[in-house]
Amino acid sequence: MKQAVIFDLDGVITDTARYHYLAWKRLAESQGVHFDEAFNEHLKGIDRMGSLDLILASSTRVYTPAEKLALATEKNEHYKELIALMTPGDLLPGAVQALDDCGTAGLKIGLASVSRNAFTVLDRLGITDKFDYVVDARTIARGKPDPEIFLAAATALGVAPAHCFGVEDAVAGVASIKSAGMYAVGVGDPHTLRQADVVIPSLAQFRLGDYLAA
């Protein structure tokens, strides 16, 4: 039986993707790089510096590490301005119920987010106290699809990876869960998230009983 669940944040519990999109779009266009929704799809589950590298690969310029850091900081400052406007109304359908169901069942609940602003988002959503432990980009060396973030969450929760399951909406995130040796619940398109053990459209279809003994 599973003893812990580890959720991703963006695209699972709330949709900050549109804020990331707006912030990345402004930065990309300031560097003469075309940025649209299709390009943005390639950034899902990728950390900030990895996303920046993908964007700047389309530029004719060569950037120094200091310039890249300045651009990443600029993007993050704009993103923080946008998420400061978030409220509990930005929780995705089924998110609170899924968290409450897991808590009622006695599961340890973790969060594995490559965002450095995870705590800010949780506070704005009013759900910080629903998590036993949060792992974000500041505490890991390698982002998804590396399994480090989910393994770190399992260790902090005191539960073996085989007794955990993860919930993710991105291909890189699902790969991270599977590499960690965990059962993977994908949220989104089953054709995109083929590596997941089961895929649901959203947390509104989250059925804890189906995953506990899987």
- Sign of CA pseudo-dihedral 130, 132, 135, 136: positive
Q: How many Å apart are CA 147 and CA 165, to the nearest integer?
A: 13
Q: Is 25 annotated as a binding residue?
A: no
User: Do 78 and 123 fall into the same domain?
Assistant: no
Model pLDDT, residue 99: 98
Q: Is 115 annotated as a binding residue?
A: yes
pLDDT tens-digit readout, 7-53: 999 999 999 878 989 999 999 999 999 999 989 888 877 888 999 99
pLDDT tens-digit readout, 65-86: 999 999 999 999 999 999 999 9
Rg for the chain (alpha carbons), in Å? Answer: 17
User: Do 119 and 68 fall into the same domain?
Assistant: no
Which backbone phi and psi does 166 adopt, to 5 degrees? Answer: -115, 155
State which residues form the domain around 34.
17-83
Q: Is 47 annotated as a binding residue?
A: yes
Residue 109 host element (H or E)? strand 108-112
What total of structural domains would you count in the chain?
A: 2
DSSP 130-175: G-SEEE-GGG-SS-TTSTHHHHHHHHHHT--GGGEEEEESSHHHHH
Compute the mean pLDDT over every residue in the chain, rounded to the nearest whole number. 94
Q: Is 9 annotated as a binding residue?
A: yes
Q: Per the residue annotation, which of 10, 15, 123, 197 is the catalytic one?
A: 10
| 100 noted as active-site residue | no
User: Do 52 and 95 fall into the same domain?
Assistant: no
User: Do 59 and 122 fall into the same domain?
Assistant: no
Q: Is 117 annotated as a binding residue?
A: yes
Peptide bond into 145 cis (omega under 30): yes
User: Do 78 and 150 fall into the same domain?
Assistant: no
% of the chain residues with pLDDT over 90:
82
Domain boundary among 63, 83, 103: 83
Q: How many Å apart are CA 39 and CA 24, to the nearest integer?
A: 10
pTM across the whole model: 0.84
User: Do 113 and 201 fall into the same domain?
Assistant: yes
User: Do 101 and 184 fall into the same domain?
Assistant: yes
Model pLDDT, residue 115: 84
Domain boundary among 44, 62, 83: 83
* pLDDT bucket at 171, cuts 50 / 70 / 90: very high
User: Do 105 and 95 fall into the same domain?
Assistant: yes
| 10 noted as active-site residue | yes
User: Do 94 and 189 fall into the same domain?
Assistant: yes
Model pLDDT, residue 47: 80
User: Do 73 and 150 fall into the same domain?
Assistant: no
Model pLDDT, residue 164: 98
CATH no. for residue 131? Answer: 3.40.50.1000
* pLDDT bucket at 114, cuts 50 / 70 / 90: confident
User: Do 10 and 105 fall into the same domain?
Assistant: yes
CATH no. for residue 66? Answer: 1.10.150.240
Domain boundary among 83, 109, 141: 83
Q: Per the residue annotation, which of 8, 15, 90, 101 is the catalytic one?
A: 8
Q: Is 114 annotated as a binding residue?
A: yes
